[in-house]
Amino acid sequence: TSSSEALLRIGDRHVTKGIGRLTEAIITKGEGSYVTLHDGKRMLDFTCGIGVTSLGHCHPKVSKAAAEQCMSLVHGQVSIAYHAPYLQLIEKLLPVMPHPSLDSFFFWNSGSEAVEASIKMARLFTGRQNVIVMQGAYHGRTYGAMALTKSKTGYFDGTEPLMPGVFTMPFPYWHQLGLSPSTSEEELVNRSLYQLELLLVQQTAPSRTAAILIEPVLGEGGYVPAPPSFLKSLREIADRHDIMLIFDEVQCGFGRTGKYFASEYSGVRPDMMVIAKGIANGFPLSGVVTRKELNDRLKPGSMGGTYAGNAVACAAGVACADAMQEDHVLENANERSKELFSALKSLHESPAVGKHILDVRGLGLMVGVEFASPATLPYDIGYSADTPKSMASRVSRKCIDKGMYLLTTSIYEVVRFIPPLNISKEDMAKGCQIFAEAVEEVPV
Ligand code: PMP
């Protein structure tokens, strides 16, 4: 086999330039909260491969279940016959759904595909075309999902025309409303809802609007939890007009926020929930969950896909659900979350670097730190697709130099913490230490 250097040369020359990459390295092994690189360097992984390996890399129970499934059945085609892991996974997920009415499952491979499936269903259920999404939303890379993504133009520039019928309203995040960072939550929610009401009067009549799609915690768009009152109002508005309310829990689901699903914080029941990422700890698996009355209206043959609900991925998903319970993962996530928040808050309050931090926010182990910069002034987001973010990118880079992967969000000066939910107290402390050093050392 070729040396790592030779492989990296292949990467440089032959891998699509369309993929942005944080580092030129080859990950050779993943174990719990760490990955090992080709040169032997061990990195603390506070990204979980963008919120996927929530139980840590190669969780023994998950890897074992997948390996065993590999020896009995890799590919079952659910359009031909069920395979047991598909049904066992549903059996495991039913009791953890945020609402008992969410009881009908369609499994897919990626988040994008599942988001698109939810839109397809919303159109079928309502007979209407249009979809309302949030400013800053990220729903994926495929054509439909790209049309629903509003976090930065770089994701779709030059690829238009996209799927028509998509309308955008502001998420209650001060940047998007041109308000100051100290604006009250109530005001943000009111302003955002006012824009929705306008949208329904001026641009997409309720009788044409199939769905409102929202991430209960805005992910790529800045790691901002939706206030519960906002989600409750969306529910009321959706009910008033028979619009489907769809929650994209691709990134915030499966314990990421300290509850199994982020919507539990508001108690709001969506008509459909999109799930992926943490569901199978790295095996490609996603899904749409809806309720029986809606599910019963789908015509056989209207949904499907070759790999949809792959047997190995579903077996991994079953093991993940077991591990979540057996290893008390939510309890750990909530304990570590307190430690993370307290470390970040003390950094925020420190005389030396506190002034560079504008906000520390999030739920559970989905936490964003927003830096103060010219970009935080109202009406000046200080960022274009061509200018690199300053503070957030440099802090992320510095953390990488110090042995920890830490991501930014798509725009704004935000870094995001997405460590494994079962991370140890020691590794959490180590990550917080590396971050504090990086913030102190990065020149402003
Ligand atoms: N929705 C959300 C909220 C996401 O965070 C992502 C991925 N970052 C997606 C959808 C798309 O998922 P995938 O990359 O698996 O297509």
Domain ranges of the chain: 4-55+328-441, 61-326
User: What pLDDT sits at residue 386?
Assistant: 46
Residue keyed to tokens 């307290």: 342
Q: Is the pLDDT of residue 388 over 60?
A: no
- Please state, as a whole number, how many other Cβ atoms lie within 10 Å of the Cβ of residue 225: 24
Q: Ligand 1 atom 5: the closest Cα is on which residue? A: 251
- For Cα atoms 34, 388, 26, give the angle at the middle one, nearest 5 degrees: 30
Atom of ligand 1 nearest to the CA of 142: 16
Rounded distance, CA 115 to CA 139, Å? Answer: 7
Nearest atom in ligand 1 to the alpha carbon of residue 276 is: 15
How many CB atoms are located within 10 Å of the residue 162 CB? 15
Q: Would the CB of 112 count as within 6 Å of ligand 1?
A: yes
Band of pLDDT at residue 411, cut at 50, 70 and 90: confident
Chain segment 253-276, per-residue pLDDT in tens? 999 999 999 999 999 999 999 999
What is residue 405's predicted lDDT score, i.e. its pLDDT? 98
**Fold matches, 4-55+328-441 and 61-326:** no
The pLDDT value recorded for residue 157 is: 92
| Averaged pLDDT for residues 75-96 | 97
Distance 149 CA to ligand 1 centre (A): 10
Provide CB contacts within 8 A for 209, sequence distance 6+: 128, 130, 131, 132, 167, 200, 241, 243
Residue 85 has pLDDT above 90, yes or no: yes
Q: How far apart are CA 157 and CA 137, in angstroms?
A: 16
Nearest protein Cα to ligand 1, atom 10: 139
* Whole-number pLDDT of residue 378: 47
95 pLDDT more than 90? yes
Q: How far is the CA of 249 from the centre of ligand 1 (A)?
A: 9
Using the atom order of ligand 1, give the atom closest to the CA of residue 141.
16
Q: Quick check: CB of 116 below 6 Å from ligand 1?
A: no
Q: What is the pLDDT of residue 197?
A: 98
Whose tokens are 């976090």? That residue is 151
379 pLDDT more than 50: no
Distance in Å, CA 405 to ligand 1 centroid: 19
User: Is-contact 55 323, C-beta < 8 A?
Assistant: yes
Q: How far apart are CA 345 and CA 197, in angstroms?
A: 37
Handedness of CA 410, 416, 419, 421 (dihedral sign): negative
What pLDDT, on the 0 to 100 scale, is given for residue 410?
80
Structure tokens at 115: 């988001």
Query: In angstroms, how far is CA 410 from the centroid of its own chain?
Result: 12
215 CB less than 6 Å from ligand 1? yes
- Residues above pLDDT 70, as percent of the chain: 96
**Ligand 1 pocket check for 149: Cβ under 6 Å:** no
Choice among 23-32, 65-74, 143-152, 383-392 with the minimum mean pLDDT: 383-392
Residue 139 Cβ contacting ligand 1 at under 6 Å: yes
The Å distance, Cα 101 to ligand 1 centre, comes to 24
Q: With a cut of 60, say whether residue 394 has pLDDT above it.
A: yes
Residues sharing a CB contact under 8 Å with residue 304, sequence separation 6 or more, in sequence order: 78, 79
Q: Which of 377, 372, 383 is nearest to 444 (CA)?
A: 372
Instruction: Ligand 1, residue 140: give the atom nearest the CA.
Output: 11
Residue 442 CA: distances (Å) to CA of 24, 100, 313, 366: 22, 48, 41, 23
pLDDT per residue as tens digits for the range 324-340: 999 999 999 999 999 99
Distance CA 386, CA 117 (A): 33
Any atom of ligand 1 within 6 Å of the Cβ of 150? no
According to the model, what pLDDT value does residue 385 have?
44
Q: What's the mean per-residue pLDDT of the chain?
A: 95
Give the pLDDT confidence score for residue 443 in this predicted structure. Answer: 73
Cα of 111 vs centre of ligand 1, distance in Å, is 5
Enter the CATH code of domain 4-55+328-441. Answer: 3.90.1150.10
Determine the residue type at 24: E
Q: Which ligand 1 atom sits closest to the C-alpha of 113? A: 16
For 433, the enclosing helix (H) or strand (E) is: helix 425-441
Q: Is 47 in the pocket of ligand 1 (CB under 6 A)?
A: no
Ligand 1 mutation pick, 149, 277, 310, 418, max ligand atoms within 8 A of CB: 277
| pLDDT of 375 | 53
The pLDDT of residue 178: 85
| Reported CATH class of domain 61-326 | alpha beta
230: nearest Cα among 222, 220, 218: 218
Q: Please report, for residues 32, 109, 243, the alpha-carbon distance to residue 29 in angstroms, rounded to integers and kept in the order given.
A: 10, 23, 46
Over residues 161-184, mean pLDDT: 94
Q: Which residues pair with 27 in a beta bridge?
A: 37
- pLDDT tens digits, 271-314: 999 999 999 999 999 999 999 999 999 999 999 999 999 999 99
Residue with tokens 């519960």, as numbered in its chain: 228
Respond yes or no on whether ipTM tops 0.90. Answer: yes
Closest to 175 measured CA to CA, from 353, 362, 350, 371: 371
109-250-294 Cα angle (round to 5): 80
The candidate with the shortest Cα–Cα distance to 287, out of 274, 305, 278, 304, is 274
* pLDDT of 247 strictly over 90: yes
At 374 the pLDDT is: 59
352 or 123: whose pLDDT is higher?
Answer: 123
